[in-house]
Chains A and B, each alone.
Chain A
């Protein structure tokens, strides 16, 4: 079964600082997703990465994918309080099954 690991699990950072969340997965995949979840809410899609070297940016968030290293990163630039949430990466298997395997999430708290 595909395993997905995220780190750190908890991240507390000051406003204006930069940081990176890492997502490692155990077998080959052709798609990787990043989601945001606010407390008690559903998953909001942030990025879909479909190829090696893919980089996508939206506002203060930038995601990248290295399929050879089986690694994706979510980089936060100049954090603001509104970014406080839990961030999940999710990976789909390259063949066969169509479901997603999620990491355990990174709970981000941005401190004013």
Chain B
């Protein structure tokens, strides 16, 4: 049973460029959340997708956008990259409990290390 798969594992981009990160959730999971983890910090919530819609959003600018596909996989897009966007980006999947909007079992992927130069 595959867990959460993220790609690519590492990425180097130049300031001002755009980047797309991808996530395939664990089998049976329908909700995907994205987190940004700066060096030496705890992960910070970016947004969550369920039923192909953004259900919640953290305190991140509109440069961060996402998408969820019918197969539950998801993309995180970041436009106009800044040096401060350099971080480990983690995808977490979970299973929504009967439409309650809550899922208790989160599985994290291995992350994408983004470096902006």
Contacts and interface: CB of A to CB of B under 8 A. Distances in A.
Given A42-B108, A43-B108, A98 B42 contact: no
Interface stretch (A66-74, A76-84, A102-110): A102-110
Which interface class (under 10, 10 to 19, 20 to 34, 35 or more) fits B? 20 to 34
A99 B33 contact: yes
A90 B106 CA distance: 11
B58 A104 contact: no
B84 interface: no
Contacts of A90: 42-43
A33 B42 contact: no
Most chain B Cβ neighbours within 10 Å, of A50, A92, A98, A101: A98
A97 B90 contact: no
A100 interface: yes
A96 B57 CA distance: 12
B109 interface: yes
B94 to A, nearest CB: 8
Interface of B: 31, 33, 35, 41-45, 48, 55-56, 58-59, 90, 92, 94, 101-111, 113
Nearest to B96: A98
Most buried by A among B42, B103, B113: B42
Contacts of B45: 99-101
Given A98-B55, A98-B56, A98-B101, A45 B106 contact: yes
A96 B56 CA distance: 10
B90 A48 contact: no
A90 B42 CA distance: 9
Given A42-B109, A90-B42, 17 more contacts: A1-B59, A33-B106, A42-B111, A43-B43, A48-B104, A88-B43, A97-B56, A98-B33, A98-B55, A98-B103, A99-B33, A99-B48, A100-B33, A100-B43, A100-B92, A100-B106, A105-B42
